[in-house]
Structure formats: structure tokens, C-alpha cells
Structure 1
Amino acid sequence: MAVRVMIEPYSADWAVAFQQEQGRLEACLTAWSPEVQHIGSTAVEGLGGKPVIDIMVGFSDEEGLSAAVDPLLKAGYCYYPCFEEPPFRDRRFLARLQDFPATVFESPEDFPDRAVHPPVFHLHLLRRGSPFWQRHLAFRDYLRRHPITRDAYYRMKVKLAKGVWESHNDYAKAKTAFIRRVERLAELEG
């Protein structure tokens, strides 16, 4: 099924939505003392993107990472074990979908219609300090410090969004080369 990606101009509401959800997540997961970070385009002031708040929740060990799934399901998040294939075996992915109850999705065929139940929050549960953790924070922070790169990324996303994609993953893959270059620049800046 072909999909279109909608890129919106930056909204200060994204930071407010993150802060509110951060408080809920910290209360829900207090037993594991997680570190909650706002990542992705919505975390960079001035950068437009899809209006989905991406959040990384970092744990000190595997026990917290796995144990956190049940309280998050009870809090209304959907869990996607189907996304725990390599290279994401050490990450748990959850999402809060608009007007959709907490569900465990074993297969992409079970996903609800994204147009009817769009994601509001994406949660990436992982170990603090993991390569995924470090890359996402470095990318976010580089874009925050370098408005020219941030603006180039936005222009690229707007251009890509004009196309029709097989899936949202195909759109994400089209951005990979740019993201890897920025990650390398962040690494060099060090």
C-alpha cells in the first residue's frame, strides 16, 4: 500500500507534549529510574517533521528494559515485538496510537490503519549508552548546534515527502545517507 508522508513546520507544542509525556513515563517507570530523552525532528527547535514525538527511554540493564513493557501497556501504549529483529534485538519499540487501545503487535499485518489511528508518541526502550542511544543523541544535538545543517535536513525531508512511498520505512531509508553523514560530523566534533 502506497503512503504519503506529511511534514509539518516546527511547533513549540511538540516540546510541551514531550515534557508532559516525560512526566507520565517517569511516574510509570519509577522503579527502574529511567532516563527519558526527546529525540527526532520534534526535539530540534526550528526543524519541521512528522508530528510524532520520538522518545528514548534508557535503562541501566536488560531487566528494566524488558520489565517496563507491561506497565507501558497498562498505560495505553502498543507494543511491537515484531520489530525486535536484528539490528534492534536490544530495543523495545512501543507507540501510543490515537484512539486505539493498548495492543501487542506480533506482525505488521495486524497494525491498524495509520490514517485512522496515527501514532502520537514513539517509544524506544534501550540501555543507556548503547550505540543506538549515543547515535540518536549525537544527531539531535548536532542539529541543535548547526542551524544550516538542520535547515538542509528539513528541505530534504520536505522534498522526499512530495513522493509516494511503499511504506514509512522506505521514506526513513531515503534519509539514511544524510543522517549517517551528520552522525559522522558529530563524531568528529566530538
Structure 2
Amino acid sequence: MLGLPKGKVFLIAWTAEWEKEFIWEKTQIENELGELILAVHHIGSTAVKNLSAKPIIDIGIELKDYQHGSECVQGLERLGYAYRGTNILPDRHYFSKGEPKTHQIHMFQTGSLYLEKILAFRDYLLKNDAALNEYQELKVKLSQKHEKDKLLYTDEKTEFINSILDSLGFN
């Protein structure tokens, strides 16, 4: 199942279908954008086996040059994405797909600290069952507490995420 309506927060148990959906979407993106991009990463909770997630596939795209993001707009629009600009989230071009939203793209210049943190946190959860379980419990609690407020849900996860990143040397 994919799709999160506006104004809602709920989690779905992890499913292998998310990985298949990412691989399909990655192939479409690579075919459409070609040499404009360096790499396509599955990010966010749908990328972490056994972690419940909002049913949105998060995709991180690396660009050689940040300015190439604007050159990707038409190609991603052909794939059904809407360009939301660079003012939604820091240091990235942001795109979303579907209503309810099924996919979102965070497009960074290679070497971006934000992307490095996202990938490091994902990889840590993939290797650390205790942290995965703790994060799972936190997400469930917060999704129930903030079922109509995605910003509060996200904000209240920040302390946990930052504690992991601090332990990995990100300050």
C-alpha cells in the first residue's frame, strides 16, 4: 500500500513491495534523467527492513552540481512528479508524486551533509537491531499522538535521530 493523504499520519508495517517499488521508480528516473544524476538512493523508513513507515517512498538523488536540479524538472514531471522547489526543505530540490502522496524525491548535490546524514542514519538502523526497535516504538507512539500533524510527528523524532548521528560523529 502506498499513499498518505494530506493532514494524516499513519504507519504501515514494512513490506518487500516497498523495495520493489523503489527499484521500479529508480529505473524510470535513471532512464529519464540519465547523465544529469550521479546516484539514486532509497531513503527514509521504507528503506529499512522491519521498520514501519508512512506509506511514501522516499528517494534521494545525487547531482554533480546542485544547479542541475532545475534541468531535471521536465523529466520528472513526465514521470508524474510535481516540482515543489528549493524552499520546502534545506539544500535540496524537492518533488512529490501522487495525491495522496506516494513518492517524494530529495535531490542533493553530491557531498551534501544532509544526504550524508540521511544515508548514515538509514545504514545505522539497518545494522543495529536495538536502535531499530527503539525507533520503531517511538514512531508508533508519535504517529498515534500526532495522527493529524505531520510536522509535530517529524519534529519529535529529531532528538532520537540526532543522538544517533552524534554517536556517528555528525555534530
Match of 1:24 in 2: 28
Match of 1:113 in 2: none
Give 2:75's match in structure 1, choosing from 68, 71, 76: 71
Equivalent-residue separation in structure 2 for 1:187 and 1:24 (angstroms):
35
Q: TM-score, normalised by structure 2?
A: 0.89
Match of 2:106 in 1: 124
Match of 1:104 in 2: none
Equivalent-residue separation in structure 2 for 1:128 and 1:187 (angstroms):
19
Greater gyration radius: 1
Give 2:131's match in structure 1, choosing from 139, 144, 149: 149
Give 1:160's match in structure 2, choosing from 119, 142, 161: 142
Query: Does structure 1 retain, via aligned residues, the 8 Å contact 2:83–2:94?
Result: yes
Equivalent-residue separation in structure 2 for 1:140 and 1:56 (angstroms):
12
Equivalent-residue separation in structure 2 for 1:3 and 1:84 (angstroms):
20
List runs of 5+ in structure 1 lacking aligned partners: 98-116
Structure 1 window deviating more from structure 2 (33-42 vs 161-170): it is 161-170
Give 2:115's match in structure 1, choosing from 133, 158, 162: 133
Give 2:87's match in structure 1, choosing from 75, 78, 84: 84
Equivalent-residue separation in structure 2 for 1:64 and 1:21 (angstroms):
20
Q: CA deviation at 1:49?
A: 0.9
Query: Does structure 2 retain, via aligned residues, the 8 Å contact 1:47–1:150?
Result: yes
Q: CA deviation at 1:56?
A: 0.3
Q: TM-score, normalised by structure 1?
A: 0.81
List runs of 5+ in structure 2 lacking aligned partners: 1-5
Q: CA deviation at 1:84?
A: 1.2
Equivalent-residue separation in structure 1 for 2:60 and 2:93 (angstroms):
10
The secondary structure found in structure 2 opposite 1:8 is: coil
Match of 2:94 in 1: 93
Query: Does structure 2 retain, via aligned residues, the 8 Å contact 1:26–1:34?
Result: no
AA aligned to 1:38 is H
Count how many residue pairs are aligned between Structure 1 and Structure 2: 165
Calculate percent identity across the aligned residue pairs. 31
RMSD of the alignment, in Å? 1.8
Q: Given the alignment of the two structures, is residue 36 of structure 1 paired with residue 37 of structure 2, yes or no?
A: no
